[in-house]
Amino acid sequence: MADPKTPEPTRRSERSRQAILTAAVELVGEVGYARLSVEAIAARAGVGKQTIYRWWPSKGAVVLDAFVELSGGSQPVALPDTGNLKADLREVLRATVKELTDPRFELPSRALTAESQMDPALSQQFVEAVLRPHLKALQERLRSAQRAGQVAKGVDLDVAVELFVGPLFHRWLLRTAPLTSAYADTVADLAIAALRPTARAGAPR
Amino acid sequence: MADPKTPEPTRRSERSRQAILTAAVELVGEVGYARLSVEAIAARAGVGKQTIYRWWPSKGAVVLDAFVELSGGSQPVALPDTGNLKADLREVLRATVKELTDPRFELPSRALTAESQMDPALSQQFVEAVLRPHLKALQERLRSAQRAGQVAKGVDLDVAVELFVGPLFHRWLLRTAPLTSAYADTVADLAIAALRPTARAGAPR
Amino acid sequence: MADPKTPEPTRRSERSRQAILTAAVELVGEVGYARLSVEAIAARAGVGKQTIYRWWPSKGAVVLDAFVELSGGSQPVALPDTGNLKADLREVLRATVKELTDPRFELPSRALTAESQMDPALSQQFVEAVLRPHLKALQERLRSAQRAGQVAKGVDLDVAVELFVGPLFHRWLLRTAPLTSAYADTVADLAIAALRPTARAGAPR
Amino acid sequence: MADPKTPEPTRRSERSRQAILTAAVELVGEVGYARLSVEAIAARAGVGKQTIYRWWPSKGAVVLDAFVELSGGSQPVALPDTGNLKADLREVLRATVKELTDPRFELPSRALTAESQMDPALSQQFVEAVLRPHLKALQERLRSAQRAGQVAKGVDLDVAVELFVGPLFHRWLLRTAPLTSAYADTVADLAIAALRPTARAGAPR
DNA sequence: AGCTAATCGAGACGGTACGTCAGGTCTTTAC
DNA sequence: GTAAAGACCTGACGTACCGTCTCGATTAGCT
């Protein structure tokens, strides 16, 4: 009578769930995402394939869950707000660089970003679960700066956020050049300059 | 001296090469990259699978070649230089947005970007063949502006370029918000503001 | 303890097994053994290739099973024993000729004989499953004749059997001359003559 | 102008022909007939594939030629005729056993016998080139014996020959039991007994 | 505490595609 | 015009996984 697509989550085996996510993380690290197979995850986790297919729609979804689990769930991201805008943002971008180049995170992150290209649903989840919290926090800091008069009033903060994050992401994803904390500083400074409330707002003269 | 794995390219059949690239483009458009198979390309092109494996190392490499062929080879990209920096860059970014959202290009672009994550060699080729020309051209325009005193002297133009391109790319790739020409304008204006030669220059102190 | 390469036969699909054997027989008849492919068998049987490879080590093994199934399994072969040795053996050899020239059996028989040359394991199975029962039955009849004094006491019946069967087989396999029931009679008569208890064998003069 | 199927044999390269046959023999010995490929023969012989296909219709034909070359061409087979029929025939059958079990000959012989099953044309050539001379010689010896009154007059010598050869061949091909010279002796004695001109014999009148 | 129904491990199944091997044809260059 | 070389189309190989589908054997939650 119940929708066959929605199994009872009450009966779900937590043991299996954990084993699957752990196996997924391990295997992504060992063989990479492309050569990762549901079969291998099931075997490593000591689990029937059906148990995976019952609870996740795709390989990507499993890896996403595993990744979220790994990065400590959806805990709200806290950014420093010392009043010193430049210092705060430099620190944030440096932290971002550190995370993007952390070997534990890099492989699954790239895999999920790649997979997101082909699977909009996964993309949505990925962005919401992993990315959005960071962007939101950054935006919050900028809003605070805007209230303090350090950022021009007319600036769209959605865009502003991407001014900081976009360049880092671009370099990371396309490997056009090494991604260093020096680069993070430069980007932070330039983006802050773009937002400063000179003459007639942030728009160029 | 010669690598035994690399066959003589003199004997190569141009007819087959073209048929393969055409078939690849068509099929990426029809079924998407994920469901694209070497087998299907060979069948569509009326070609033996071996002929593909003889000349390309992977599915991604074929699609990359096909994509380069499609976008008119490695012709040098020409940017407008009217003297009006803001107008020129707005036009460039608008053109970039148009290309990224052009249905003919979007699918293969996303596919190649995704595939590049898992295959650094492909990534390298992709960036050099497709991306670098655009970035170089943009950089050239900024250099011209720098000479004209519209951009602060100390600014690293490699970074500056990414200030323009990064946000667009970020939004396109992660689908955090719609990618419009209005957005292109906003990014252009903000990035130009970041670079303008103020009192203390745009470069980090 | 269990061989990991041998899957549980309890879960085996009888439907698939039958379909595969039937398809194999049909296809051997249609295209011959040399042009018979596992792929074609799988396609005709509506079965995945893996299902064939799971249960049989080679094309030859499938055809052997199919052939055994076709000739009614390993039912014990019954030979006539009317007391009239010459009549009985003529009948047996004529039946053998008939089977060797029966179009339904000839092709697979030749194929299996040929394949056996290259694959000793298959050879073993083929001989045991198909040939041995016939030889055993023939030997039994000769033993009975030996007890009745129609065959010399000292004769090795293993050899005697081949005296009857060898010539037929030789002619069938090498096509040195047509294989007819007249030939069967001649061979039967000569072989019986070879075995008869002579003056010096201690038999009645 | 000439039939494209029959190239000019005058221009044929003897060097290539020899190299091909040598390579074929070597490779059959190394990898067996089943895994022998025209490609490998060509490579080993330092010859283009076309050169093989130009002069031989099939892999089997090459191996047959190679085998004939190996066994010293179609030299007429000479059998002993000492007047002692039993001694002569024992010697002949022992020689046959020796040849069938000689490792240099066994593999190609089995291969050709096997291949002959699927290719009647090859079968014909094989029998004529390799087998017939032996059978003819054996038949000659029996004819001589028939003239000397050691073999009944009415016996069909074509059949008689197979009475000697058939059992050996049967045991060799089907591996029902080891093929020894003791076996050769037994068969020789029995077959001679079958042919002897006693009382009314078992042979057809 | 026992019943019953869903989930579980296991793995066979029909499939698709893989990347490789070889077949036999065709084309190019050298002799 | 034969030969060496080797690219080409074709077709089959045997393998890896896909996602679906039985199987008993747990294992909950409800009676």
Q: Which of B135, B155, B192 sits opposite A204 (nearest CB)?
A: B192
Q: Which of C39, C70, C101 is the last residue of a domain?
A: C70
Neighbouring CB atoms inside 10 A of D50's CB total: 9
Per-residue model confidence (pLDDT) at position C150: 94
Alpha-carbon distance C34 to D129, whole Å?
24
Alpha-carbon distance A79 to A165, whole Å?
15
Q: Is residue A109 part of a domain?
A: yes
- The whole domain housing B64 covers 9-70
Q: What is the mean pLDDT of chain C?
A: 89
For the segment C55-82, the average pLDDT, to the nearest whole number, is 85
Q: Does B142 touch chain A (CB under 8 A)?
A: no
D10, pLDDT greater than 80: no
Give me the number of domains chain C comprises. Answer: 2
Q: Phi/psi of residue D56, each to 5°?
A: -130, 145
Shared domain for B185 and B105, answered yes or no, is: yes
Q: Is residue C192 part of a domain?
A: yes
Read off the tokens for B136.
């170089």
Q: Is residue C97 part of a domain?
A: yes
Best CA proximity match to A195, nearest among B163, B191, B179:
B191
Q: Identify from C86, C162, C164, C175 which residue to disrupt to test chain D contact, counting D C-beta atoms within 10 A and taking the largest count.
A: C162
> Residue A156: its chain B contacts at CB < 8 A?
186
Shared domain for B42 and B126, answered yes or no, is: no
B180, pLDDT greater than 50: yes
Task: Indicate which CATH number applies to the domain containing D123.
Answer: 1.10.357.10
Per-residue model confidence (pLDDT) at position A89: 95
Shared domain for C100 and C189, answered yes or no, is: yes
Range with the lowest mean pLDDT among A36-40, A197-201, C180-184, D124-128? A197-201
B129, pLDDT greater than 60: yes
Task: Indicate which CATH number applies to the domain containing D63.
Answer: 1.10.10.60
Distance between the alpha carbon (CA) of D173 and the C1' atom of F6, Å: 40
Shared domain for B65 and B89, answered yes or no, is: no
Shared domain for B134 and B108, answered yes or no, is: yes
Task: Report the amino acid identity of residue C202.
Answer: G
Are residues D33 and C118, on separate chains, in Cβ contact within 8 Å?
Answer: yes
Shared domain for D92 and D170, answered yes or no, is: yes
State how far the alpha carbon of C14 is from the alpha carbons of C11, C20, C25, C26, C51, in Å: 9, 10, 17, 18, 12
Q: Phi/psi of residue C53, each to 5°?
A: -65, -25
Is D50's CB less than 7 Å from nucleic acid strand F?
yes
* pLDDT tens readout for residues A137-181: 999 999 999 999 999 999 999 999 999 999 999 999 999 999 999
B199, pLDDT greater than 70: no
Per-residue model confidence (pLDDT) at position D73: 60
Shared domain for A90 and A185, answered yes or no, is: yes
State how far the alpha carbon of A171 is from the alpha carbons of A184, B32, B183, C21, in Å: 11, 26, 21, 59
* pLDDT tens readout for residues C96-124: 999 999 988 888 889 899 988 888 888 99
| Contact present, D190 and D93 (Cβ < 8 Å) | no
B8, pLDDT greater than 90: no
Q: Does A145 touch chain B (CB under 8 A)?
A: no
Q: What is the mean pLDDT of chain A?
A: 88
Q: Given pLDDT bands bounded at 50, 70 and 90, which one contains residue A76?
A: low
For the segment B96-103, the average pLDDT, to the nearest whole number, is 92
Shared domain for A147 and A95, answered yes or no, is: yes
Shared domain for D93 and D156, answered yes or no, is: yes
Q: What percent of chain B has pLDDT over 70?
A: 91
B203, pLDDT greater than 70: no
Nearest protein residue, CA measured to C1' of E29: B11
* pLDDT tens readout for residues A89-141: 999 999 999 999 998 888 889 999 998 888 888 899 999 988 998 999 999 99
Alpha-carbon distance A120 to A149, whole Å?
38
Are residues A176 and B33, on separate chains, in Cβ contact within 8 Å?
Answer: no
* pLDDT tens readout for residues C20-37: 999 999 999 899 898 999
Neighbouring CB atoms inside 10 A of D88's CB total: 20
Best CA proximity match to C119, nearest among C39, C55, C60, C32:
C60
Q: Is residue C114 part of a domain?
A: yes
Is B143's CB less than 7 Å from nucleic acid strand F?
no
| Contact present, D89 and D164 (Cβ < 8 Å) | yes
For the segment D80-109, the average pLDDT, to the nearest whole number, is 90
Per-residue model confidence (pLDDT) at position D205: 42
* pLDDT tens readout for residues D37-84: 999 999 999 999 999 999 999 889 999 999 888 876 656 677 888 989
Q: Which of residues 13-32 of A touch strand F (CB under 7 A)?
A: 13
Per-residue model confidence (pLDDT) at position A119: 85
Q: Does D187 touch chain C (CB under 8 A)?
A: yes
B contact residues 146-175, partner A, Cβ 8 Å cutoff? 155-156, 158-160, 162-163, 165-171, 173-175
For the segment B105-134, the average pLDDT, to the nearest whole number, is 89
Higher pLDDT, A43 or C119: A43
Q: Is residue D183 part of a domain?
A: yes
Best CA proximity match to B159, nearest among B130, B197, B202, B120:
B202
Which residue is it, tokens 């809003």? A143
Burial tier of D131 (Cβ tally within 10 Å: 0-12, 13-18, 19+): middle
Shared domain for A113 and A149, answered yes or no, is: yes
Q: Identify from D28, D36, D105, D117 which residue to disrupt to test chain C contact, counting C C-beta atoms within 10 A and taking the largest count.
A: D117
Distance between the alpha carbon (CA) of B124 and the C1' atom of F7, Å: 29
Q: Given pLDDT bands bounded at 50, 70 and 90, which one contains residue A199?
A: low
Per-residue model confidence (pLDDT) at position B79: 82
Q: Given pLDDT bands bounded at 50, 70 and 90, which one contains residue B56?
A: very high
Shared domain for B122 and B187, answered yes or no, is: yes
Range with the lowest mean pLDDT among C6-10, C171-175, D44-48? C6-10
> Residue B163: its chain A contacts at CB < 8 A?
163, 166-167, 187, 190-191, 194
Are residues A175 and B33, on separate chains, in Cβ contact within 8 Å?
Answer: no
For the segment B11-27, the average pLDDT, to the nearest whole number, is 93
For the segment D78-107, the average pLDDT, to the nearest whole number, is 90
Shared domain for B141 and B183, answered yes or no, is: yes
* pLDDT tens readout for residues D13-31: 888 899 999 999 899 888 8
Q: How many CB pairs under 8 A join C and D?
A: 155
Alpha-carbon distance D126 to D11, whole Å?
27
Neighbouring CB atoms inside 10 A of B140's CB total: 16
Q: Is residue B191 part of a domain?
A: yes
Q: Does D111 touch chain C (CB under 8 A)?
A: yes
Q: Given pLDDT bands bounded at 50, 70 and 90, which one contains residue B63?
A: very high
Q: Does A62 touch chain B (CB under 8 A)?
A: no
A74, pLDDT greater than 90: no
For the segment B93-119, the average pLDDT, to the nearest whole number, is 89
Are residues A159 and B190, on separate chains, in Cβ contact within 8 Å?
Answer: yes
Q: Identify from C90, C156, C170, C205 which residue to disrupt to test chain D contact, counting D C-beta atoms within 10 A and taking the largest count.
A: C170
State CA B120 to chain mean position distance.
15
D8, pLDDT greater than 80: no
Q: Is residue B1 part of a domain?
A: no
